[in-house]
Homo-oligomer: A and B are copies of this chain.
Amino acid sequence: MVLADELAKKQRSISVAEFFEKNKHLLGFDSPVRGIITTVKEAIDNSLDACEEAQVLPDILVSVRKLGNDVFRVVVEDNGPGIIPEKMPAVYAKLLYGSRFHQVRQSRGQQGIGISAAVLYAQLTTGRPTTVISRTDAKRKAWKMSLAIKTETNEPEVLSEEEIDWILPHGTRVELEFKSSSGAKKKLVEYLKYTSIVNPHARFRVELDDESFVFDRVSSEVPPCPVAIKPHPYGVELGVLKRMAAASDAPLSEFLKESFSKVGEKTAQEICASSGLKPTEKASKLPLEALGKLHDAMQTTKIPAPTATQCLSPITEELIVKGMEKEFQLDFIKSRTRPSSVFGGHSFIVEAAIGYGGKLQSEGAATLLRFANRVPLLYQQGACAITDAVQNVNWKNYGLSQQGLPIGPVMILVHVAATNVPFTSESKDAIASVPEVEKEITLALQELGRDLKLFLSRRDKSKLAEDRARAVCSVIPLIAAKVGEIVELPPPDTSLIEGRLMRRVILKKKTGDGKIIIHVDNYTTKDQEVSLYDISSDNAGDASTAPTFVSEMDGEFTKIWKFTLASGEFFEVSYTGSGGGMIDIQGIAENLKVVVDLDV
């Protein structure tokens, strides 16, 4: 028998489910622990995308509980628009099924693989199906389905389904059971914290075994749902153009205008002229050679870059700062949202932030937070273009030492938002090296580096001044005492001089002749929010500036003045009274204020 005949018998189709079952590491299911993280991530990606489409503020429950015997139940529940029963099997139990693959716009899910891969992996490790509950409208009941994937065919199998009552008016709940050695608590909390930073409009209620806690929203504005745009002529390949042309029944110039973004009448005519083709020719009738010329002309004709405002959804500088401040205590924080840019016809925007000091670890390498389309990237930091770009910045220029990453109490956040994120693998762990993207990241970081340098040099300068001032201050009381001795008077009060030298806020209360004067000087370099408290038997009814708030208890009047005091400015108030009691300033750190009560 001829060998080829024999070999032919072994050749057969491989279902995409078989393929990914065998190659589960490609989807981020390479270890049982990671499987749990990836599942939560895929479910949350879907929930956030769906809530954005429905313009709902996401309220998401995440629960991971050990059922015993190394099996963990993962539940993710959202208040999104829900999924109609007809679509539930394919969405959850068929790989390569979804709505976002063919759309040119920013979304977390792209491929229609993620959540069904989780279903595949759950049934692989425990043999158990996945339960999905979804409700699409308060007027309809909810549907509950038990689903599995037929691996050999990549088709969904509905094991049971029923209409049920459900408390949420709309939303989706998915429950999967995994075999795993651990609930991956630490990594999961990390993932949720980072997700919460770049989705400041979302609220996550978390239940991990016996603990429960919340990552709350800091913004109650739903970001606009990115709108799908048509492909840009620069991004289309000849093979795709051929398919598009074959499917059109329009003349060439109409075809170009209808099918591509940024192509108007003028551009269409230019492309036709440059390719030597008639604008009136039917696109579907063009032979391959003509399409080749058309394709060349599309790449060489000057066409404006795609509009990024509709199809992308950057977090914005303000919300990045809010998100980071919520989760980390920092002395310095700045963020940048770069203008939109383009690679291979795909729009993208880079956002970055740098945090410094505070409670960040002062030793070791900087913490790098990587994000793509509002999703944190937790693995393969070393293989990511973001890491490359961060390491290629010369941080020594900005006052940081560096060994690859900058060293010190530094946190760097980079977010790449794109209509098509160039991931290095389906597990979406790392961004591939695309020169245009790396350049934008570098520019954002350099801008932030300059701000950081300014902060660090000011801090160093003020630290130097403070050291000097401290040295001077330590001798002033001695000199004052000496002078007092010589002139035979009690030593003068030197705290004000100290205050000025030490760059503090000085609060002084003087009582004399039935009149009270309170004086506040801001010798610091910053504007200060001051809450001045004066508690005494005086009601300060005739105060030159009326208190913001007065209360009385047992004849003691608490008077509060609230105001902003610019650096170098002073505030003074006077009233009639007998003085005594106590004064203080709230809202200013103890080491920044000096209180001098001259009637004590």
Contacts and interface: CB of A to CB of B under 8 A. Distances in A.
A11 B54 contact: no
20 contacts: A2-B136, A3-B54, A4-B134, A4-B137, A4-B170, A5-B136, A12-B97, A13-B94, A14-B102, A14-B112, A18-B101, A19-B111, A22-B101, A25-B424, A26-B424, A126-B238, A126-B292, A127-B239, A127-B291, A424-B425
A292 to B, nearest CB: 7
Q: Give 8 nearest A-B pairs by CB, closest first.
A: A124-B239, A4-B136, A10-B99, A14-B96, A3-B81, A383-B383, A425-B425, A11-B99
A90 to B, nearest CB: 7
A53 interface: yes
A137 B2 contact: yes
Interface in A6-28: 7-8, 10-16, 18-19, 21-23, 25-26
B426 A25 contact: no
B243 A151 contact: yes
A288 B177 CA distance: 13
A363 B125 CA distance: 50
A127 B238 contact: yes
A86 interface: yes
Nearest to A243: B151
B4 A96 contact: no
A494 interface: no
Interface string A478-511: 0000000000000000000000000000000000
A242 to B, nearest CB: 5
A337 to B, nearest CB: 26
B7 A96 contact: no
Contacts of A86: 8
B380 A11 contact: no
B8 A84 contact: yes
B96 A16 contact: yes
Contacts of A179: 238
Contacts of A81: 2-4, 7
Interface in A56-113: 81-84, 86-87, 90-91, 94, 96-99, 101-103, 111-112
Contacts of A313: none
Contact of A432 (B14, B16, B30, B50): B30
Nearest to A9: B99
Given A4-B83, A25-B432, A426-B26, A98 B14 contact: yes
B13 A97 contact: yes
A382 B430 CA distance: 13
Interface in A121-136: 123-128, 134, 136
A430 to B, nearest CB: 8
A25 B343 CA distance: 14
Contacts of A103: 10
B125 A8 contact: no
Given A11-B98, A12-B98, A123-B239, 9 more contacts: A2-B137, A7-B83, A7-B99, A13-B97, A15-B96, A19-B111, A21-B240, A126-B292, A152-B243
Contacts of A18: 101
Contacts of A97: 11-14
Contacts of A292: 126-127
**Most chain B CB atoms below 10 A, which of A83, A292, A425:** A425
Contacts of A99: 7, 10-12
Nearest to A83: B4
A237 interface: yes
A94 B425 CA distance: 21
A8 B111 contact: no
Contacts of A50: 7
A580 interface: no
Nearest to A71: B292
A422 interface: yes
A426 B322 CA distance: 39
Contacts of A140: 2
Contacts of A10: 99, 103
A240 B17 CA distance: 12
Interface in A401-444: 420, 422, 424-426, 432
A558 to B, nearest CB: 54
Nearest to A172: B4
A127 B30 CA distance: 37
A140 B4 CA distance: 12
Contacts of A91: 11
Contact of A125 (B26, B238, B420): B238
Interface in A543-586: none
Interface in A208-267: 237-240, 242-243
Contacts of A14: 96-98, 101-102, 111-112
Contacts of A15: 96
Contacts of A16: 16, 96
B237 A124 contact: yes
Interface in A510-562: none
Contacts of A53: 3, 7
Contacts of A420: 22
Nearest to A122: B239
Contacts of A134: 4
A575 B101 CA distance: 91
Contacts of A11: 87, 90-91, 97-99
A491 B266 CA distance: 100
A81 to B, nearest CB: 4
